[in-house]
Amino acid sequence: MINNRLAILATGLLGNQLMVWGFDYLLYPFVLYNFGLWKGGLIMILLSFLVCRLTIYFYDYSKKDWLGIEAIKGLKEQTPKNYFERVSKFFLSKSELLAFFFLSIRFDPFITTVYLREGANEFNGMKRKDWSIFLYSLAISNIYWLIIVEAGIDLLKYFKTILAI
């Protein structure tokens, strides 16, 4: 039973991390660099919506907690062991609004929505409140990531021009 749970968690965490890494660090910069901030940003927001919504659908369909969302919720009760856990516990335990902003910036709309929705163990889809959380998290996380990636692209272009001189 424990080995099965660990296998599910390992597979889920690895798969999700690979998807997030490819999306955030490969696709996002590629699209923004090639299409610009506005057009590329719109493309990435739409792709983010689709990927996160489909991930929520799969998460509910599988009826397995393959990311350990309950473990994340458990951070509120645990004694933090390192800096990340202390910061996480602070933001997650203060209020749902702080948790919302922290999760939206640190993770993605999928994680934010599943963490904050009622009955996450029930895998019962999204209610009206969940859709609000999802859409606002989508906006916040993408605005944050657009700023970060665009700043990185601008720095890259700046250093490229300096080195070309």
pTM, full prediction: 0.81
Domain span including residue 110 = 2-164
Contacts of 96 (CB under 8 A, 6+ apart): 116
- pLDDT band with cut points at 50, 70 and 90 for residue 153: very high
Q: Phi/psi class of residue 56: alpha, beta or left (left: φ > 0; alpha: ψ in -120 to 50)?
A: alpha
Does residue 120 have a pLDDT over 60? no
How many domains are there within the chain?
Answer: 1
Helix, strand, coil tally for the chain in percent (to 5): 85, 0, 15
